[in-house]
């Protein structure tokens, strides 16, 4: 079990294949249709993707996968271990995504989020993301996806 931590004890670094067991546990605890190991391996090995993990006391407690292509970057996946939520780790991961997008020359950072995920929507809005489109029935044909973007220029 992962212990509680203070954000100051958290470091962000590139995701490695050795992180995937921990990443998959967080992914499965966070989403009804979780990514599989192959998805994360593709992110790690793609020259367009920049996955990172949040680590505290040697344990992976969160991650973000960012893809950047030309003027647009996208948060493909982001999650924090259930026992670590509400401690600023999500903020650190969003800050990492923004930094990567800017470093790669993106003009905007986009993402999609379940309309029911109010905590995530609030997090993104605090960082200046705005809603720009709704994909009806995107998740399992039932729940809408909100598309959000942050202009980086």
CA–CA separation, 109 and 140 (whole Å): 25
Q: Is 112 a catalytic residue?
A: yes
pTM of the model: 0.92
pLDDT tens track for 15-62: 999 999 999 999 999 999 999 999 999 999 999 999 999 999 999 999
What pLDDT, on the 0 to 100 scale, is given for residue 8?
53
16 is catalytic: no
pLDDT tens profile 97-148 = 999 999 999 999 999 999 999 999 999 999 999 999 999 999 888 999 999 9
Rounded to whole angstroms, how far apart are CA atoms 78 and 90? 8
3-class DSSP state for residue 35? coil
Task: Determine which one of 27, 43, 63, 124 is catalytic.
Answer: 124
Of 112, 115, 138, 143, which residue is the catalytic one? 112
Instruction: Name which CATH class applies to 7-110.
Output: alpha beta
Domain boundaries defined on the chain: 7-110
Pairing of strands 108-114, 72-80: parallel
């Amino acid at each position: 079990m992962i212990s509680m931590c203070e954000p100051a004890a958290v470091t962000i670094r590139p995701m490695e294949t050795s992180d995937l067991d921990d990443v998959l546990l967080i992914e499965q605890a966070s989403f009804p249709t979780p990514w599989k190991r192959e998805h994360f391996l593709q992110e790690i090995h793609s020259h367009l993707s920049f996955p990172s993990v949040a680590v505290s006391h040697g344990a992976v407690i969160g991650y973000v996968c960012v893809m950047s292509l030309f003027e647009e970057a996208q948060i493909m996946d982001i999650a924090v271990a259930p026992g670590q939520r509400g401690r600023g780790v999500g903020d650190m991961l969003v800050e990492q995504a923004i930094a990567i997008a800017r470093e790669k020359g993106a003009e905007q950072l986009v993402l999609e989020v379940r309309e029911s995920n109010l905590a995530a929507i609030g997090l993104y809005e605090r960082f200046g993301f705005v809603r720009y489109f709704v994909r009806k029935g995107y998740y399992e044909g039932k729940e809408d996806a909100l598309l959000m973007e942050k202009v980086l220029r």
